[in-house]
Structure formats: structure tokens, C-alpha cells
């Protein structure tokens, strides 16, 4: 087949894929645009100092009025907060990614495993790039209950969790045929993302706007990865659902 013929063939395939998936593609594209605009809006508000009062109030409201070093809630909730935030750490995210990639590889879906690794790695690099770009100081209204050494905006734990867990969820769901199983995988990935983000606020190491921005950026990345995966599946480059 000539070069021009191959290009025409691929164009037809892409057009067919868009036609078959038009509602889902349009919804995903809308969410990507909405996520990008939301991130820009939050970042602009943070730069202008419009969220300072709310952020400080939200973080302070999660501590005892007479002792800002002690978070509200029972002792077991304090421990759960520390456990939950560990789920967004580099070590756990890398381990979880390798476990899922290994499963996909053993299941005969090596191309999807490779796409998963590339998506997670590049997304994590993006998270740290954005963090260094904005360089927002950490909350100083309460003592930190977790060790931190980098800037605050966006929350790397929240963004990496959204990138890794949601990307894992949408990519794994794309190779699973049963809808109930798809819904379970996606719900679990979103739950982990939310729990990690909330734990960062509870421990006093991030403002709510840091976490929201991280969630928005992570969601956008995960949706882009899903769209790429669906397109590659249509082209036959990546394995389909069974």
C-alpha cells in the first residue's frame, strides 16, 4: 500500500471510530476542556490571592479550636488520614502501576501495559513540572502532620493519584467487556483519588484549592489517555476488551 493509501485508510478508520463513539467522545472532549478551564481558573484565583481566606479557614476548621496541632475526630481517624495519604506517595503509586501492568502483560495485553506505563510516567512528570512552575508556599496556619519538602500548588499527591489511579481505571476498564466490572473499576479508582486528596487537607499540608487543581489536571490527563487508548484499539494497535 502506498503512503497516500495508508493515510486514507487510517482516516477512514478514525472517522468510523468517531462515528461509533460520538456521544462518548464528545462527552470526554467536553470534560477535558472543562477540566483545563477549571484548572486555569483555580490557578488564576490562587495567584490573585482570592482564595486565601477560604483556604486558611478550611484547613483551620479541621483542627481543634483550642489546639491547632490536633486534628478533629477520633484517634483512629488520625491514623487513617496518614494511611490514606500514603496511597498517593511515589512508592505506592509506582508499585500499584507495576502490579496492574504485570497483570495486563500476563493476560496477553502487552500493548495496553506499555501504554499504561507511558501514560503514568509522563503524567507524573507533568505533575512535578506544574508544581515547580507555580511554587506556592505550603499552608502555615496549622502544624503539618506529614513530612513535606516541595511547594504546594497543585497537590502532587492529588494530581498523581488522579493520573495514576484514574488512568489505570480507564485503561483497565477499556479492556474489560462487562459493564458492571467497568463501573466497579472506575468507581474504585475515583474513590482512591478522592480519599488521597482529602487526606492532604486533613493533615494540613495542602489547601483545598491545591487538591482541586490536582484533581482537575489528573482527570484531564486520564481522559486524554482513555481517548488515545480507544483510538489505538480501533486501529488494532492496542488490545480490545474480551
Cα torsion 190, 141, 70, 59: sign: negative
User: 3-state SS string over the chain?
Assistant: CCHHHHHHHHHHHHHHHHHHCHHHHHHHHHHHHHHHHHHHHHHHHHHHCCCHHHHHHHHHCCEECCEEEEECCCHHHHHHHHHHHHCCCHHHHHHHHHHHHHHHHHCCCHHHHHHHHHHHHHHHHHHHHHHHHHCCCCCCCCCCCCCCCCCCCCCHHHHHHHHHHHHHHHHHHCCCCCHHHHHHHHHHHHHHHHHHHHHHHHCCCCCHHHHHHHHHHHHHHHHHHHHHHHHHHHHCCCCCCC
As beta bridge partners, residue 63 has 71
Active site residues: 157, 206
Cβ-based burial of 172 (10 A; exposed 0-12, middle 13-18, buried ≥19): buried
Amino acid at each position: 500500500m502506498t503512503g497516500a493509501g495508508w493515510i486514507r485508510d487510517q482516516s477512514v478508520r478514525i472517522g468510523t471510530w468517531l462515528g461509533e463513539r460520538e456521544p462518548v467522545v464528545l462527552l470526554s472532549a467536553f470534560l477535558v476542556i472543562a477540566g483545563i478551564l477549571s484548572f486555569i481558573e483555580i490557578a488564576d484565583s490562587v495567584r490573585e490571592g482570592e482564595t486565601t481566606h477560604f483556604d486558611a479557614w478550611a484547613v483551620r476548621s479541621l483542627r481543634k479550636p483550642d489546639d491547632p496541632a490536633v486534628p478533629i475526630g477520633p484517634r483512629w481517624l488520625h491514623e487513617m488520614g496518614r494511611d490514606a495519604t500514603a496511597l498517593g506517595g511515589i512508592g505506592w503509586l509506582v508499585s500499584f502501576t507495576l502490579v496492574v501492568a504485570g497483570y495486563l502483560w500476563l493476560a496477553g495485553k502487552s500493548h495496553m501495559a506499555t501504554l499504561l506505563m507511558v501514560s503514568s510516567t509522563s503524567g507524573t512528570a507533568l505533575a512535578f513540572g506544574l508544581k515547580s512552575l507555580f511554587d506556592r508556599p505550603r499552608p502555615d496556619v496549622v502544624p503539618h502532620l506529614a513530612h513535606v519538602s516541595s511547594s504546594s500548588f497543585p497537590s502532587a499527591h492529588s494530581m498523581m493519584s488522579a493520573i495514576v489511579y484514574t488512568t489505570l481505571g480507564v485503561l483497565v476498564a477499556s479492556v474489560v467487556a462487562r459493564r458492571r466490572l467497568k463501573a466497579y473499576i472506575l468507581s474504585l479508582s475515583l474513590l482512591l483519588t478522592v480519599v488521597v486528596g482529602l487526606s492532604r487537607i486533613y493533615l494540613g499540608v495542602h489547601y483545598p484549592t491545591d487538591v482541586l487543581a490536582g484533581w482537575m489536571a489528573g482527570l484531564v490527563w486520564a481522559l486524554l489517555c482513555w481517548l488515545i487508548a480507544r483510538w489505538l484499539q480501533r486501529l488494532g494497535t492496542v488490545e480490545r476488551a474480551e
